[in-house]
């Protein structure tokens, strides 16, 4: 979530409310339909070359770079916002977890279990309606945590006051602990409590966080060169994964799915009846966003 990450400075002015589906979709509708001056200056086309799809703040729904997005599978040609308004939330997309450079597949099962625990805490906890002030605080807190999260004594904004990050994190963790215990009781074992304990350890000792471990590995083995660290770790992960064997039935299934997908692509392209400009105007028409 830092400024070097997947960000858009233009979206800093976007205040999306999560109070309910109506507020959320209304926020996105404005961003998808109202012209944005900086993009109007760029224009849509330069001769036959397209510079952008349109001149609104969000050109399509997937450009909204939020940490969490309510989602609904769409029908062919349907806009995601229309699908949400018409049929409601089907699933919640949790985004922007950095890949763990020490994990061959990018995320450990333990991390997934803690995310499950935390999301259940969010689902079951009361939450007062958000406000423009709180939305602004959240954005600034994300930046401060991404850039300075291991800084001793770092304080965040909380309802107009300063709140030490560690104290706030421990408060949230304490509310997650009963959920981790309940999950272990339901599924057996202690995997969720272990995931909770690992998260609590990182809050207590910032040197245990992934960012600190990356810095230590760079200093210890790579002469403080991040590119060298990333290349060597990636090469090791690639070698390990390439030695794994898929069961025959899995290989055959994926081969079949790939062939079916390519065939479907050819059929769709052959059935095209309009040029791109006509399709662009039809797809981006504001009427397609309404219910």
Q: In this predicted model, what pLDDT tens digit does every residue of 44-69 receive, in sequence order?
A: 999 889 999 999 999 999 888 888 99
Domain that holds residue 74: 1-96
Euclidean distance between CA atoms 235 and 178, whole angstroms = 40
Is residue 88 located within the same domain as residue 170? no
Q: Please report the pLDDT score of residue 162 as a whole number.
A: 96
The answer to the question of residue 142 being in a domain is yes
Whole-model pTM: value is 0.85
Euclidean distance between CA atoms 206 and 211, whole angstroms = 9
Is residue 230 located within the same domain as residue 173? no
Is residue 77 located within the same domain as residue 147? no
Q: Does residue 66 contact residue 57 with C-beta atoms inside 8 Å? A: no
* pLDDT cut 90: percent of the chain above it: 78
CA dihedral 267, 279, 286, 49 (to 10 degrees): 130
Average pLDDT value for residue range 252-277: 94
Q: Does residue 179 contact residue 121 with C-beta atoms inside 8 Å? A: yes
Q: What is the pLDDT of residues 10-50, one digit of tens each?
A: 787 788 899 999 999 998 999 999 999 999 999 999 988 99
Q: Please report the pLDDT score of residue 213 as a whole number.
A: 94
Residue 97 per-residue DSSP state: P
The answer to the question of residue 35 being in a domain is yes
Euclidean distance between CA atoms 30 and 35, whole angstroms = 9
Among 8-17, 88-97, 166-175, 258-267, whose mean pLDDT is lowest?
8-17
Please identify, among 47, 71, 96, the residue that sits at the C-terminal boundary of a domain: 96
Please identify, among 175, 191, 211, the residue that sits at the C-terminal boundary of a domain: 211
- With 70 as the cut, is the pLDDT of residue 155 above it? yes
Residue 46: count of CB within 10 angstroms of its CB: 9
* pLDDT cut 70: percent of the chain above it: 98
Among 94-98, 108-112, 170-174, whose mean pLDDT is lowest?
94-98
The answer to the question of residue 277 being in a domain is no
**Dihedral-angle region of residue 160 (phi above 0 means left; psi in -120 to 50 means alpha; beta otherwise):** left
CA dihedral 53, 268, 95, 287 (to 10 degrees): 50
- With 80 as the cut, is the pLDDT of residue 8 above it? no
Is residue 159 located within the same domain as residue 81? no
Is residue 258 located within the same domain as residue 179? no
Is residue 38 located within the same domain as residue 109? no
The answer to the question of residue 132 being in a domain is yes
Average pLDDT of the chain, as a whole number = 92
The answer to the question of residue 5 being in a domain is yes
Q: What is the pLDDT of residues 183-237, one digit of tens each?
A: 999 999 999 999 999 999 999 999 999 999 999 999 999 999 999 999 999 999 9
Q: SS3 breakdown of the chain: % helix, strand, coil, rounded to 5?
A: 60, 10, 35
Tokens of 283: 């797809």
CA dihedral sign, ordered 251, 254, 257, 258:
negative
- With 80 as the cut, is the pLDDT of residue 95 above it? yes
Q: Please report the pLDDT score of residue 1 as a whole number.
A: 62
- With 80 as the cut, is the pLDDT of residue 3 above it? no
Grouping H, G, I as helix, E, B as strand and the rest as coil, residue 155 is: strand
Q: What is the pLDDT of residues 265-278, one digit of tens each?
A: 999 999 888 899 99
Q: Please report the pLDDT score of residue 270 as a whole number.
A: 92
Is residue 80 located within the same domain as residue 118? no
Please identify, among 188, 211, 234, the residue that sits at the C-terminal boundary of a domain: 211
The CA angle 85-88-90, to the nearest 5 degrees, is 135
Number of domains in the chain: 3
């Amino acid at each position: 979530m830092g400024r070097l990450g997947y960000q858009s400075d233009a979206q800093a002015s976007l205040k999306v409310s999560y109070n309910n589906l109506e507020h959320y979709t209304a926020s996105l509708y404005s961003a998808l339909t109202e012209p944005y001056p900086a993009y109007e200056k760029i224009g849509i086309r330069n001769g036959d070359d397209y510079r952008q799809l349109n001149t609104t703040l969000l050109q399509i729904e997937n450009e909204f770079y939020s940490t969490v997005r309510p989602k609904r599978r769409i029908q062919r040609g349907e806009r995601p916002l229309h699908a949400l308004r018409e049929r409601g939330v089907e699933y919640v997309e949790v985004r922007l977890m950095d890949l763990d450079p020490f994990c061959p597949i990018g995320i450990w099962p333990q991390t997934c279990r803690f995310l499950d625990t935390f999301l259940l805490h969010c689902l079951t906890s009361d939450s007062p309606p958000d406000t423009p002030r709180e939305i602004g605080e959240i954005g600034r807190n994300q930046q401060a945590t991404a850039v300075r999260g291991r800084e001793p004594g770092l304080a965040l904004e909380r309802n107009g006051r300063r709140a030490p990050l560690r104290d706030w994190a421990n408060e949230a963790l304490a509310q997650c602990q009963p959920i981790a215990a309940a999950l272990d009781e339901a599924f057996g074992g202690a995997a969720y409590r272990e995931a909770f304990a690992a998260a609590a350890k990182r809050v207590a000792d910032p040197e245990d966080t992934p960012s600190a471990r990356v810095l230590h590995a760079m200093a210890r083995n790579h002469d403080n060169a991040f590119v060298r660290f990333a290349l060597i770790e990636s090469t090791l992960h690639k070698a390990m994964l390439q030695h794994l064997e898929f069961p025959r039935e899995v290989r055959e299934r994926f081969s079949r799915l790939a062939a079916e997908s390519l065939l479907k692509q050819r059929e769709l392209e052959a059935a095209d009846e309009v040029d791109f400009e006509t399709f662009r105007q039809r797809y981006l028409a504001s009427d397609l966003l309404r219910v």
